Structure 1
Amino acid sequence: MDVDLLRPGTVPISPDTILWFEFLLNPSLLEKHLSKPLPDPSPTDLIIKFMSINFDQKEETKIIDPEVGEIKPNGHSKWPHKTLALKILSLKVATYLKWDLDLLQKKLPLPMQLTLLQDLFYITTDVIVEIPAVPEYSVNSVSDQVLFTIVLYHRWYLRAIIYRALHNKQCKQQFIHIPGIQESTFIPPGVSDEIIRKLEAHVSNALNVLNAVLQSNDLKPKVLSFDTFQMLTEDSTEVKQNWEKMIPITVEEFKCQIHYDIAVFHLLREEYQTAKHHICQARDLFLTLNKTEPLLYCTVKKEFLDGCCLACEVPIEEIQPSLTQQLHRAIRDQYTNILQILQSDNISREIPQVYRDNLELDLQGGLANRKMVVSRDLLLQIQCLNLVRKVVDSDVVLGDYPSEIKAAGAKGLDLLFWALNTVLEKASPTDNRRIARYLLHLVLSSDIDGLTSRILNTPNCIALFNETERHEIEMETTSDDLDMPDLLLNNDWGVPLQTYTQNPRLEIFELEQRLILSYNPHEIRDIIIQLAEKNPMKPLWPVNSCWELPIPLQSVAMSLPRGFLQDYSYILLAKSREMVSVKDFIGAKDLLCALEKEVQQHVQVGNTLLFKLCKMVGWEALLVEIWHCLYAWPATTVCDTQALVVQCKQCLGALQATDQVIPRQEIIEYCTVFMLNMAEWDYLTTLEKRWAYAEFAAAISSVCQEIVKYKGSRKFPRESWDMVLVAFGPSRDQPQKRSSSGNSSGSSSASKDLIAGVSALLSRLREPTALTVAISLLARLHNVLRDESSLELYAQYLTLWPVSIPNSNSYNHRTISEHLFQLLMQALKYYPSNVPWLRLMGDLNFVLAYYESAMKYYLEAIMVSSDLFSQPVPRTQIDDLVYRRMIKCCAHLQCYTQAAVLCQFLEEVDYSLAFKMAASDQKSCAPADAMDAYYHCVWDTTILEYLIHLHTKRGEHHRKQLAIKVIGLLELNSNNIEKIQKEAANIRKAKFLRALARQYVY
């Protein structure tokens, strides 16, 4: 069990342990403890402990808005002596640390920093302040301790804003493994942000005060010492400090620190001129400080000061900039002296290789895009230098450097050996060996003209190779100089050219193959013309048996006169459908546009057939646009949706006009569903319901209108409910009744149309409101047919539909489940973060006994509603019913420990169920280490006590000790405030849910 050394009464302690109250009884213990080489607990941990004990006894630290807050003078202390003594102990530790704000801001939570400064104000000014509403003081007339306090506070003010900007992400706190200290430092989400927001609102006050201190010429600064603060005793009646023991410091040290803090703040705000002024002052003052003695106040580090000087372009004479700094400066100055820097780096190898690679890529891209003007050979020079650096570093050489050198000819070789010569003068034997191996690799694997002779004629290069390698290089030179026979250098072998005549049938076959493979309308047009010249009477549409058209299109195309237009129309229409099948909607639209232009050129007055074809091609283009929009959903920006809505209205309007061409049914259906998905519900409700498809779409539109208008507060028209009953009713699975004439009745035909229309429309829904209506409708029908309260599905707007139907036994319940399952899968594909749909998907899997899938979707719903477990799970979306079903799923999967932990998530913990699940965990198939991890997620002591009893009875000593450890951790936290306990429970909940998600979701 983890032991809190500063809280008595938790576990037996060793004689060497110092308890927190002993520091109060014997003040000398504090300095003795802090003077240890590695004191445990550390000084900052001591501050946290002293302050956390005070937090347990008073209300939390407040930060108020100065415009509405007030400062209360302290006539009588509102704290008891023990509280004041603990505050003084905290201040003594901070003084021992020389009030190093870097350390305090890193180790202490922001609210504790506020409290520490408030305590300092109270001790030095005898005033209770609530930050940031501090009193205004004249820096020339205040006492030494007050001057120290107000300067420290305003320095912290600026540094808190800086620290928050640079460390915006709060570290995660671990509650279970390190209790006590870690829990005391936990900051609820949003608290730090609220503090910083109020600080930033009045940052100008802090700057004014610090600037006033810098302008004062009568300063005699002093710092608080460890002995300044006097501890209280049992006989103390008032709080008194020994201000005579403050230690004087120089004005230079005092102002150097202030200038530095102001400069860093202005750097953060990108106010470089002001920052430059203060950093110059800080640098000048820093150079005057005596470095032989330790500084008591100034914590400025020389390397950070130099970095600020570089950022503000303040010269640093005593420091030679590094090669990396020189590289960045050269890039900024249009590559000035860049080659000398890279040559030096090839020897010292200081610049990271990634910077050199980025330099090469940036220069290459800039030259390719003509965005920069540099020397013609600069890129190749840098490439050669980078190549040499990679060779001597034995890095993998990426990039086609040999090709670049070969393309440059003799100039490339000159630059390669220029880059090598600088390194060879100062290279180690290892570097020489690496260079030799790479040059030998170039000789053997590349065909760079003149490389071998250049190596042999360069003394410092040939000296790199041994006798065997020199022989290989000389052999390569000999093979390069061999004379090739004339017969191999030309193709004139004295054989006369022979002219061959191609078979016409082969030529036609090649043209037909090109016709099948081509999707360019201009190329298709040329091929059709060439084939027509070969055989004018042969139709081309049978060339590919896969070219098929819907009956209306085929009949119009085949009715055209035999010739070019018939073949061209049929083939382009067929190819456009081919491209739609592979989701190339833009290419399909291009083919249809080309056909429409061609047909318009042949349209003559009175030629109704061409006019009809032109209209039908336009509707086919509209259908392709709708397909494209539905396929790319929810990214509807792929097309002009408003223009599509207008075209759909024109297409549907053609149904009601008797003198126009009627679109084919597939186009009508897609136009209708597109209008539904575009929320054109007013239009659909007024549309003439000649088609069953339009009738169902109008019924859904009517419900959507009412939902938007009345938010589901009243009963809706039952047209959609009745149509779904017809679509999924008994007639779907039973033979149709026949009339006396032997034919099926007309109502049977209408029923079939409605069934097909409803099924098709459900599969094409995209708009969330329409999807919600359809899902709730099928969910209600599923519940009515199932008629089991324990297996009901829960969805939005369920109360809008009837609760019973006649002859319910005649319906196919499995068909309803399948359609609802497909509809939910479709909805979650486009809206994967919809919590009600995720929960309903979990319910459906639960009802169908797919328990693992049910857990997956329940956990996904929890993940979305809790923002990946970073927030408490909202009860309005995930209620007790979900948790109870998750418990049942775990029980069916024989994960009884998970089920027992989930019992804690209920509004009222079901102990009987939890005990039952815990007693069944001997049958669990979960691994032991996973079950042990789940034990750490239990926060209910009653369940833990039962587990201890159960494991004792069974003789399971490991789990018994684990449960004892967990309950001990919870008891350690028993004195914490309620808010901390609630946060601890939330952390355990999130940890457990995250573990379940790793098992069932990922």
Structure 2
Amino acid sequence: MASLSTTGAAISRPAYFEFLLKPSMLEEHLSQADPDPSAIDLMTQMVCNSLKRTASEQCIGNHVDVMLMQRKGHMLVVLPLRILTHLNYDVQLLLDKLPLEMCDPLLNYLLLECLGPLAAELTPASFSLDLATLLPHQVHAASVYFRYVLAAVVASRVPRPPQHRNTPLNLPGMSGEGTSEYREEREVLLAELSSKGDFAARILDSLVVGATQVMAPVSTSFSLSVPNLGAAKGSTHNFNNCIEIPLQQFKCQVHYDLGLFYFVTERYSDANHHFTQAKELFAGLPEKTDHCSVCPSKLRAYNNSCSAICGRSTPLLQRTLLDRFTHATTAVNYQGLLDVLSQDDLTHELPLYLRQKLQVDLMAAPPHTTTQGLFFQVCCHNVMRCVLEEKVWDPRFPGHLVTAGKQGALFLLQLLSSKVGQLSSKQRPLVHQFLMCINVQEGVSAVLVPSLMATAPLANLFSHLEMLDMWQGVEEENQAKLMRQAMDVNYGVELLDDANLIWELIHSHEPVALRRAVTRYVASKQQQQHGQSGNNHKDILDLHDKWEIPSPIRLTLTRIPSTLHRYLVSIFVAKAQLLLQSKSWVESCDLLDAALKACGEVADGERGEGGRLYKMLTFLKLSHNIHKWIHSLPHTDDGNSLASEAKLCLMTLNGREDVVPWISIMNWCVMCLVNARDWGSLVTILSGLQMPSSSVPLMSFLRPLLETAHILDSSPSPSTHPHLDDESFPRFWKTMVKIMDTASQHRKGQNSKPIERYSETMGMTEFLELVYILKEPTCLTLLTSCLGALYNKLLGEPSAEVHILYPHLWSSMTPSKESDIATVREALSAVVQHAIKYFPGADHVSESVAT
């Protein structure tokens, strides 16, 4: 019985030809909750079989056979259109679920059956139709077809993840030997649709402006009766039986589709117009619409993008916040920035990462600039935005508040009080919680509470008892400081709960406070091991997922028996690495000094690990100092001592790849000597320097660059130098050509050879990373001259050549056929912009090169 029921279930799934024999089954089948086969499956099978019918089939047999074949062909066209009515003519659904080769004939059928002979006039080659004469159902059919044309063009320009298409048939050419022909046919179809894109956009523009009524045919509108011989297409259909589409939904959908088409074709002004129209229409639509599938979040995103791109010609105050923010960050003294941030605190339109990046840039600014006061004001705005959005705010803010003093506290409270009247009932408790949280931090009460009590809108958020407790904290602060100082003498264990302890370990960056916290943490961990009370304590580096230290240092630390010193060095190095990323040089070096001090306390007899660890920390501090010095160039001259340390480091690690702790230390040392212009040491050291394998591309580039730079620097007049025929210049030219060739091959996707682990040629990414830390004027002069000469030779147009210095150096050189002019131009622009940034008045840089 089981087998019989299974067979019966299998037989119950109707085939597509059963609907041809009994068309009344279609409505009953599609009205099911989950029809099998689905509407998409049936539509695909019918359209596919309608395409397979050849002219010979229609001509075989007697008159009766011919009539039967015509009826079958007509039904294979009409029944898919009836199914299409059940899908509400959803163009995007068709493109997602059907192959393009099925969508195109289906929507052509719709156009032919609804417009009849007029369809032939809706082509770019023979367009002569007055669109105002179209009937309401013909307006709908034309709009569906031309919306499909635009949607296909958009889909071809913007790749998306492949959609699941439940297609039970193998289309002609989709398998076996016909795959390449199938792809060629698809490309031909896409090319044909792309050529009709602008025409389709013009038709839809006219329809959306002139349409006064739009009617969509329903299932019964399409008749199964075959037109008589000589009758027009669609003459048997009943288009009086249609449903009216709300004009607002129709226009919103068409404006959105036009906006997408103009956006991907980079006509942003037209796109902005249509997205703005669609946004205004969408605001008046009901929550659920049957004939408009516009996604509001995508519509808003596209509209904002177009507004930002097209906002250059509009007044500044009428532009989007993103455009105003970009303008303010590039203006003199950041004019208008605080107004933009103040408005965004409540609207939340700006991406939060842009505001955080601005804060990091202001924090890294030199101390003598006028941005120090602005830095704290930006911190206040960013913290307020995070508080109101219920996101994690910067844990360093209490420290910034203490540094800013009473004036900083007053600015923060005035900013908060100006927004209190605009806050919701949910946001007011968030501000209250934030102020209570920062008040418990050391040193904050003295600067915050007096101003808070005098600020009426904010003071109303607190009860009388809360105010008394906060004021009592101000009076007790001096006494608490004295107690903590007494306990810090011998790094004694302070009895605080685990939550405060962990908070101090994660958020503090002051070496003495960190040492005290680590001491308490180790003591608490030892108490736990002896069976006393206490929570489970992890390894100290597991407390924060962003704490990372170089692997050689971590491996060496595992061999240090002393838990206290192991944890001290770990947390000092981890926090120093984090501060280095935010360019907090002073605090980073202070923590590394504390790590060296803790390492010096390790007993010498502990298997010699203390000495090895001390040397690694010295190397790490050296790389930090070099990083800081290069970043401050050319406004500093403090490079002689660093160059001496770098030479000593290179001589120590030369040829000993097994003891190099991390490769970047040697690279930083070499770049220190380059930027210090220590030509004598460079010639001596680099000639006998044996770098690790991964540094081969760097040295293959640097050696010819430094040789030619040394020749150029030592010559009073390069145009008359007697050694310009030296092999150094051709060698440097070949090196640069190889780099550009490799980058061009990767850019064109022509590099079919497997990439070696350590290639001798530097890639474009590594080349640009090196350029950004290269601030030696002679080397930058050579790079701009060589790349400019290569660009001019590839360009081959004397009238369009860029101006370079020393063109005679490269007059006999020839470019490679593999070099791509766009890649060379990109590299040249990056080098020139970098040189202009650090040497704005230098003669080796020309603004015309970067344009």
Q: Structure 1 length normalisation: TM-score?
A: 0.40
Taking structure 2 as the reference length, what is the TM-score of the superposition? 0.45
Pair member with larger Rg = 1
